[in-house]
Structure 1
Amino acid sequence: MKWQDESSALLDELLKPLPVFVRPMAKKSIKSKIEQVAQENGAEEISHDHVVRGYILAAPDKDRAVTALEAHNIDLAPYEELLK
């Protein structure tokens, strides 16, 4: 699956707060979830929306996910159903 440059950059930014030794494993897990979300939507390319949705779904702690996304000025209104 092809990743847009901005989508890949967003994922890297969202992972920055994690300790360096945890990032590779977290990235692999979250990236897999993002690609699953995109595939379920029939997409050929990973978009910003797929990254946000996959990140939320993969997050074990939704409050931390919200904090990270808000820190990047991402409007969470379209994703409220995922945050419940």
Structure 2
Amino acid sequence: MKWQDESAQLLDELMKPLPVFVRPMAKKSIKSKVEQVAQQAGAEEVNKDHVVRGYIMAAPDKSRAVTALEANQIDLSPYADLLK
């Protein structure tokens, strides 16, 4: 699936806080979830919204996900249902 440049950059930024040794596996897992979200939405390209939704859904610890997203100036109000 094709990724918008902005989306790929956001995913890379969200991976930075993770320890280097777990980053590749975590990125693979999250990227897979993001692409699944995009496919379910019928999208041909992964956009920023898909990255945020997939990241939240794949995160084992929602509070860490919130911290990482807020650090990247992501408005979480549209994603409140996923953060419950």
In the alignment, structure 1 segments of 5+ residues that lack a partner are none
In the alignment, structure 2 segments of 5+ residues that lack a partner are none
SS in 1 for 2:75: coil
| 1:78 maps onto 2:82 in alignment | no
Report Cα offsets for 1:27-48 as digits up to 9, x if no partner.
0000000000000000000000
Name 2:54's counterpart in structure 1.
54
Structure 1 vs Structure 2 CA RMSD: 0.3
| 1:10 maps onto 2:10 in alignment | yes
Scaled by the length of structure 1, the TM-score of the pair is 0.99
User: How many residues in Structure 1 have an aligned counterpart in Structure 2?
Assistant: 84
For residue 75 of structure 1, what is the amino acid of its counterpart? D
| 1:69 maps onto 2:72 in alignment | no
Percent of paired sites with the same residue: 81
Name 1:31's counterpart in structure 2.
31
List structure 1 segments (4+ residues) > 4 angstroms apart after TM superposition.
none
Scaled by the length of structure 2, the TM-score of the pair is 0.99
